[in-house]
Chains A and B, each alone.
Chain A
């Protein structure tokens, strides 16, 4: 098991390096400097600014400087938010995004696995068809459509829930953003669970359990759930990536001061170091979580360890 985990860890390192190099090169290949304003700066001022941000060095020098900073957790200064480092900005935005993301994943797993299992048990029934139509709809409608429509309905028209983030302390402000984020994932997980549960329930060991007189609840709980969860587990990697992408939109729509909002603001303001830092941070997070999913897969299904 340890060997399997270590092999996976080694495999993740080149991916991470690739991400950093690609992102770094992309930002530095950009035409025009980060401080090009409408009014040209005097030459000596421009030179001083470039020297202060080490933009006068050669590309390999800059890369080495960036890498050594990165290893110490320093992503450099933000070009637009004066007096803040990128690490400070990430540190202030990430906890908010993390809370949202975790709640969304939890909700997606609970509702998705639950409704998928029920649909699988009543395959072909009206309930099954309703759940599956909902799932197809949930997959098709993008987060940036669901979010605003929910706000329009529940906050603007019905006044049941707060529309924004700031100005309210009630925990209800989490409800709409979390539902918006979770909805497409609920849909995917429900579809995956249904398909794999139907497959597992047709296996011989389930027939044996049933022949021994075990009830449906016990069969699901002790025999079917674990093997049926394997496809859902391998979907967790893409799900996390989708929730991170979704949180960029959700934070824009609901005005939540999280990492996604910094990312979009940075992108629109051409704050190169901030955008670069957040891309690297997101990528590291996704790769690390994929790694954890891979290792968990090995824990649940011993067969993959010995391949």
Chain B
């Protein structure tokens, strides 16, 4: 767990600081240095692409974009999921049954295809990517939050709040929601890699982030096209993406085990 967190922190710092330290920028093309393999000359640590752009800076930029999309999308799914789950769990009864039935129905939908449809119908809009990815990832969160809320609402402090005349929305957001924090944090850690996966999938297909902006998925896509002469263009972004996803998954798993153990005591 500490190792995964350390790796993620290191990559994040590198992505923030790296471009400042490099003499190159992500847009600058250099036709004297096309498809250079990783080298110290010109500080092309990750080599250059077929337009002579420095891949170190582009990869760092790609990590920034990928992580940003993932975090914002996870926040979107967090807000939707927590609100939906807490309302269903707290109100209960028939409302709960209908709301959860709706979630079950949505589970059966192939969301990723809808996201692609969305990208086709409305131009590839950056904001839309955030919202679309967030909108497909809230289902798990809603289920888990509902389960927790069901047990929380029977607790004394909720009764006390109700007796002193606190309104239902206020009970949900001021009294129930803060108590969900632990499990929500765990599931956000598991939602982030899913969001990264969707974003890079879309960018890989050319439906996500558009040139000259880039993301890890877009870099992998560019690398695939050039892998026969310039394998570094594929291997570097691909392995970084894999390391980031793996770290998040390990971290999330460890946090969940920790939380489950604490919960059982």
Residues of A in contact with B (beta carbons under 8 Å apart): 12, 14-15, 18-19, 22-23, 26-27, 29-31, 136-137, 139-142, 144-145, 148-149, 151-152, 156, 237, 241, 244-245, 248-249, 252-253, 263-264, 266-268, 270, 272, 275-276, 278-279, 282-283, 286-287, 290
- B contact residues around A249 at 8 Å (CB): 201, 204-205
Q: Are B231 and A152 in contact (CB under 8 A)?
A: yes
Q: 29 A-B residue contacts at CB 8 Å?
A: A22-B114, A23-B117, A26-B114, A26-B117, A136-B246, A136-B253, A140-B249, A141-B245, A142-B197, A142-B241, A144-B217, A145-B220, A148-B227, A149-B235, A149-B238, A156-B228, A237-B108, A249-B201, A263-B116, A266-B120, A267-B117, A267-B119, A267-B120, A270-B120, A272-B121, A275-B120, A279-B110, A283-B109, A283-B113
> Is residue B193 within 8 Å, beta carbon to beta carbon, of the partner chain?
yes
Residues of B in contact with A (beta carbons under 8 Å apart): 105, 108-110, 112-114, 116-123, 193, 197, 200-201, 204-207, 217, 220-221, 223-224, 227-228, 231, 234-235, 238, 241-242, 245-246, 249-250, 253
- B contact residues around A248 at 8 Å (CB): 205
**Which residue in chain A gives the minimum CB-CB distance to B205?**
A264
Q: Are B249 and A151 in contact (CB under 8 A)?
A: no
- A contact residues around B245 at 8 Å (CB): 140-142
Main secondary structure of the interface of A (DSSP, over half): helix
- Using A23-B117, A136-B246, A137-B246 as known contacts, say yes or no to A30 and B223 having CB atoms under 8 A apart: no
Cβ distance A188 to chain B, nearest Cβ, rounded Å: 12
- B contact residues around A244 at 8 Å (CB): 110
Give the docked Cα–Cα distance between A145 and B216 (Å): 11
Cβ distance B66 to chain A, nearest Cβ, rounded Å: 12
Q: Are B206 and A268 in contact (CB under 8 A)?
A: yes
Give the docked Cα–Cα distance between A141 and B249 (Å): 11
Interface residue from B116, B122, B204 paired with A144 (Cβ < 8 Å)? B204
Cβ distance B123 to chain A, nearest Cβ, rounded Å: 8
- A contact residues around B227 at 8 Å (CB): 148, 151-152, 156
